[in-house]
Amino acid sequence: MTRTPLDRYELRDPLGRGGMGTVWRAYDPRLGREVAIKEVHLPEHLSPEAREEARARTAREAQAAARIDHPSVVTVHDVLELEGTPYIVMSLLDGVSLQKRLNTDGPLSEEQARLLAGQLLQALRAAHRADVVHRDIKPANIVLADRGERAVLTDFGIAGILNSGPASVHATGSVLGTAEYTAPERLERDEEDPASDLWSLGVTLYTALTGRSPFRRDGLVSTLSAVMTAPVPGPPAPGSLGRLVSGLLVRVPERRLTVERALALLKTVPEARSSPLPRPDHRRCRAPLPRQGETSTGQAPRRSSSPSS
């Protein structure tokens, strides 16, 4: 059912709702294609100055993500604002999130995880070259598209831009990401550096291979403590794939694998013909947004805030 038009776009039905936004399936009649539109929800308690800062930052971050040209990064087509609310227009992906795939079918095989790792490392290389740090890499923000043959990194809603100055959405107290996937240096010093994305990728790959996050605990405080101090688990797979994951899960950022070293490690053994990633349901969707109220079950706040579209 077509809803009120948004500029030239026809909103149809919601694909996901969360505390930070709603994602809509929409139609672009000018180009004759379906798209996904994320409506960014700004907290009502924000002051007018903070609200304006958040809107401006959201637009800049979406524009930065739009500069990333890579098949494993969601394509951003447009940024709009209507009555003070920002909207981000993106490609509509045909697939399911990695999180849903793990929930329904269990862990990936080593071959599938190797393919996933290679695609996401190349996506991060493209993002970091564009000075974009994703800051929320996790299975829920990875879509398995094209019948499972292509992993796509989505949801740049809290992405950071390197060397962009002090203004940021999280300066208003918004969440930084999901605690169990957040790099220790971001929890401790709120550092915005490409190395933090590589830690998050390491946790994601560990989860993909074992079916469980290595740092998930029953509560937020214990999860934060696990990320900061719990022993890092051993390799979740043999050979170079296991060494790759272990090399990403190094708490000292300077000792963590870089993108180039990680890609080189993936090539240290002959690879058999790659099989597709697990075939998902063929329904159009984006990775689900964090659920409303997720604050108490795993969203990492600023260090100065209380212990989360």
Tell me the catalytic residues: 136
In angstroms, the Cα distances linking 71 to 9, 26, 55 are 24, 21, 27
With vertex at residue 200, the alpha carbon angle to CA 120 and CA 72, rounded to the nearest 5 degrees, is 20
For 227-247, the DSSP string reads HHHSPPP--SSSHHHHHHHHH
Burial of 166 by CB count in 10 Å (0-12 exposed, 13-18 middle, 19+ buried)? exposed
Main-chain dihedrals φ then ψ at residue 213, nearest 5 degrees? -75, 135
Where is 55: in which H helix or E strand? helix 48-66
End-to-end distance of the chain based on CA atoms, in angstroms? 22
- Listed in sequence order, the DSSP H helices in 165-193 are 184-189
Contact 173/306 with Cβ under 8 angstroms?
no
- Count other C-beta atoms under 10 Å from residue 144's C-beta: 27
